[in-house]
Amino acid sequence: MKKTTKPTSMTVMHVASRSFALPDAAHVPEVPADHKMIDGPTRLSLLKVYADQEAETERAMEELWTKRVDLQRALGPLAPEANEGKELLDRMVAARALNRKAQKLAAYADEQEALANHAVMAFLTSTVADIEHVATRKPGLAEEFALTLKVMEQRREAIVAGIARSKGAGKGAPEQATKAPDAAPSPPVTPVNS
């Protein structure tokens, strides 16, 4: 008789998520090969467009573009290059739209990977338990599925090691607490988008 298990909320969530097709990773654009990400301090030094001023900033740039002739007349040689302002505005709007869509896709992909990982490990755990049970009567079965059994054994060892580290950290907590006053306080972290 086929064993049945009561579906957990996680299982139900994963089954529901599988009704949505995953985007083909091959169709997701790559970051330009020669692009180098800017470092943290440089990123923090960049001028920001605050979230509650996005629309106003766009309208300000559009005003400069639509009234570029008046601006040129008023400022003379001090007037900025009108085409440059339009190009900067277009790139900002395009980058914002790209970022919003990419962030949503990244969050979705991260969730789907987590659900898929959970489903695979649940499948392996259940199947390995059955293999190990039957292997007590069929010794050759364990050798036939040695790779599968080895993966789960490594997982068990990693879990045990993690629990041991966690208990070790807990025992060391009182000693760390007594040393805390001598430690320098951590500097405040400035949010990237502030």
**Tens digits of residue pLDDT in 51-104:** 999 999 999 999 999 999 999 999 999 999 989 999 999 999 999 999 999 999
User: Within the chain, what is the greatest distance between any pair of CA atoms?
Assistant: 94
| pLDDT tens-digit map of 90-147 | 999 999 999 999 999 999 999 999 999 999 999 999 999 999 999 999 989 999 999 9
pLDDT of residue 104: 96
Does 7 or 135 have the greater pLDDT score?
Answer: 135
pLDDT of residue 179: 45
- Alpha-carbon distance of 157 to 141, in angstroms, equals 22
Please give the DSSP secondary-structure letter assigned to residue 51: G
- Alpha-carbon distance of 178 to 172, in angstroms, equals 10
Residue 181 confidence (pLDDT) above 70: no
Please give the DSSP secondary-structure letter assigned to residue 182: G
How many contiguous H segments (helices) and E segments (strands) does the chain have?
7, 0
pLDDT of residue 145: 95
Does 186 or 33 have the greater pLDDT score?
Answer: 33
Q: To the nearest whole percent, how much of the chain has pLDDT over 70?
A: 78
pLDDT of residue 76: 95
